[in-house]
Amino acid sequence: MASVDFEHVDKAYASGSLALSDCTLHVEDGELMAVVGPSGCGKSTLLRLLAGLESVTRGTLRIGERVVNDWTPQQRNVAMVFQDYALYPHKSVRGNLEFPLRMRRLTKDEMRRRVEWAADLLGLEAKLDRLPRELSGGERQRVAMGRALVREPAVFLLDEPLSNLDAKLRSEMRAEIGELQRRTATTMLYVTHDQVEAMTLGTRVTVLDRGRVQQISAPRELYERPANVFVAGFIGNPPMNLFPMRVSIDGGSPRVELDGQALRVDGEIASSLAPFAGRRLTGGVRPEALRLAKPGEASIRAVVEHTEALGYETLAAVRPGGAHPSEGGRWMVRLPSAAELAKGQTIEIAFDRAALHLFDEHGQALGGAAPR
């Protein structure tokens, strides 16, 4: 096994598009790093560079301590599993698992040992003589992974490997991949556009947007302390409510406007926001951090536009700022299912100061702005 390093890596395709820009990323030996971002953000490019299927335009790529920029894919000893893995239809599971080993000068015993090890790891012992068409979707996916594992790669790359599976199977396979990674302690890069997959699988998660690394953090940190507006709006379902926010000093005390609406704030909140007076900030509050205000509490007035009763909770889309849609954006609020809201109803919503995220004029999180 080995660590992986991208050091200031750029990748420009012949078409001129810069698919990765100044990408710096360290993956520990034995770590499962999830890489997530919207379609076209450069995720596959990142893996293809590491596998040696594309060349680096600028920067350094290391596997272990070695610089591998000029190494062939074979020299790198990296295994890759794609969404569209293709098994050999006329070969048995054993034949498929053996295939990548045939190119190598391995003894028959060694080949058998590796195939049986992978089959055991993946629960395929009883299926070794079956053909791919005699397997379920999940089993076929496992064979594809086994075929990569038998090579005992230094690094294991997975590119949206579960996209073709239905939701239930995806969640089962996700758990299996996590377990497999822990048992084998293989260094793994797992690319997905699905934040749930990234958050539940990754020891750490790298968020990419338009070819740039936005944040590399443990899942919880990513959720609790997004580094910028992009990450705040990408991680979480529904995502964080983001809104323009102005703080001004009015007669000595700070006045806060959220989404164009003056907010009555208590003394503690006001004094914590005073240092930001005069600035155009972006505020953020997660839907689950909003609640119906208690009487007399500092609150935001909002009109209910739409509700979804999910049984265990109610999701409401509300428009702060009362009756004038032009004044405010739309916020999502997550409330206990007991909350009965009607479309058009005016409600007062509140949140704790610790739940308020602040971002500067460039969309970067203001450190220490939300003490917890």
Instruction: Please give the residue ranges that form the binding site for ligand ADP (CB under 6 A).
Output: 13, 15, 17, 19, 37, 39-45
Q: Is 222 left (phi over 0), alpha (psi -120 to 50) or beta?
A: alpha
For the chain, strand residue ranges (E) read 4-12, 18-27, 32-36, 58-63, 66-67, 78-81, 155-159, 187-192, 204-209, 212-217, 241-250, 253-258, 261-263, 280-285, 291-292, 300-309, 313-320, 331-336, 346-350, 357-359
Closest contact distance (angstroms) between CB of 208 and ligand ADP is 7
Give strand pairing partners of 25. 6
Q: Toward ligand ADP, which CB reaches closer, 35 or 93?
A: 35
Name the residue type at position 314. Answer: T
Q: Toward ligand ADP, which CB reaches closer, 43 or 286?
A: 43
Q: Toward ligand ADP, which CB reaches closer, 42 or 320?
A: 42
Closest contact distance (angstroms) between CB of 40 and ligand ADP is 4
> Degrees (nearest 5) of the Cα angle 71, 37, 177?
70
Q: Toward ligand ADP, which CB reaches closer, 8 or 343?
A: 8
Closest contact distance (angstroms) between CB of 241 and ligand ADP is 26
- Residues 6+ away with beta carbon under 8 Å from 276: 247, 358, 366, 369
Closest contact distance (angstroms) between CB of 81 and ligand ADP is 15
Q: Toward ligand ADP, which CB reaches closer, 39 or 237?
A: 39
Closest contact distance (angstroms) between CB of 129 and ligand ADP is 36
Closest contact distance (angstroms) between CB of 260 and ligand ADP is 35
Q: Toward ligand ADP, which CB reaches closer, 231 or 316?
A: 231
